[in-house]
Amino acid sequence: MNKLDTKTHIMDIARRMTMQQGFDAFSYRDISEEIGIKTSSIHYYFPSKQDLAEALVDDYIDYLSQGLQNINENFPNGYERFKGMLELMIATSGQEKQLCLCGMLSANMHAVSEPARHKLGEFFQRFETWTTETLKQGVQDGSIHHLVRPVSTAAEMVAAIEGAMLIARVCLRPNYLPETLDLLLARIRP
């Protein structure tokens, strides 16, 4: 198989396992069995498991940044952009009760290197910044009603999104995640 294919395949499986069960909860063997190559071949691409974690973080940040940029380009106003972001988060993490990759790695932060931990911090910072700008934009274009401090609302929103994904994994209510994220949307609806 092509180098990129295998590397991508490894990361796809590792990403899914991380978001479903946590970074400590799977081994190179688990990946190797699913993909059909030996564990030593995985070490060829990711010499240590921390390298794999860092690659997952980089990839996830790229993926979400791209997604948010697409939203900015394709949605006309702040409200629609915010809504698009919530749908993106549900599409990325919500199915199968998966946690946001960066959220899960924050829980498992002992397993990742210091540079990768720093990137996790940057991820949340950038997520908050995007949300702040989007809320401001929405207030300006009239699609979102007045907010006292958009930067504060954005911080609450990001925390609530991550927390909702965490709680959804064990919540007894079947539609907890979409319902809770919808509350966030209802809050800014004009």
Partner DNA sequence: ACCTTTATCTATCTACTGGTAGGAGTATAC
Partner DNA sequence: GTATACTCCTACCAGTAGATAGATAAAGGT
Give the chain's end-to-end CA distance (angstroms, integer): 53
Q: Decide if residue 2 touches DNA (CB under 7 A).
A: yes
Task: Name the amino acid, one letter, at 57.
Answer: V
Query: Rule CB under 7 A: is residue 108 a binding residue for DNA?
Result: no
Q: Among residues 18 and 132, whose Cβ is nearest to DNA?
A: 18
Q: Which residue has the tokens 């498991």?
A: 49
Neighbouring CB atoms inside 10 A of 142's CB total: 11
186 binds its own copies (CB under 8 A): yes
DSSP H helices, the chain, are 3-21, 28-35, 39-45, 49-74, 78-89, 101-107, 114-141, 150-168, 176-188
Is position 115 an interface residue for DNA (rule: CB under 7 A)? no
> Is the CB of 4 or the CB of 170 nearer to DNA?
4
* Gyration radius of the chain's alpha carbons: 18
Rounded distance between C-alpha atoms, residue 75 and residue 165, angstroms = 25
Q: Which residues 60-119 are close enough to bind its own copies by CB under 8 A?
A: 99, 102-104, 106-111, 117-118
148: tokens are: 């006292």
CB of 166 to DNA, least distance (A): 22
Contacted entry of DNA, its own copies, none for residue 162, CB cut-off 5 to 8 Å set by kind = its own copies
State which of positions 126-185 bind its own copies (CB under 8 A).
Answer: 152, 155-156, 158-164, 166-167, 169-173, 179-180, 183-184
Kindly give the interhelix angle for 176-188 and 78-89, rounded to the nearest 10 degrees.
170
Q: What residue ranges bind its own copies (CB under 8 A)? A: 20-22, 24-25, 99, 102-104, 106-111, 117-118, 120-122, 124-125, 152, 155-156, 158-164, 166-167, 169-173, 179-180, 183-184, 186-187
Where on the chain is the footprint of DNA (CB under 7 A)? Answer: 1-3, 6, 26-30, 36-41, 43-45, 47-50
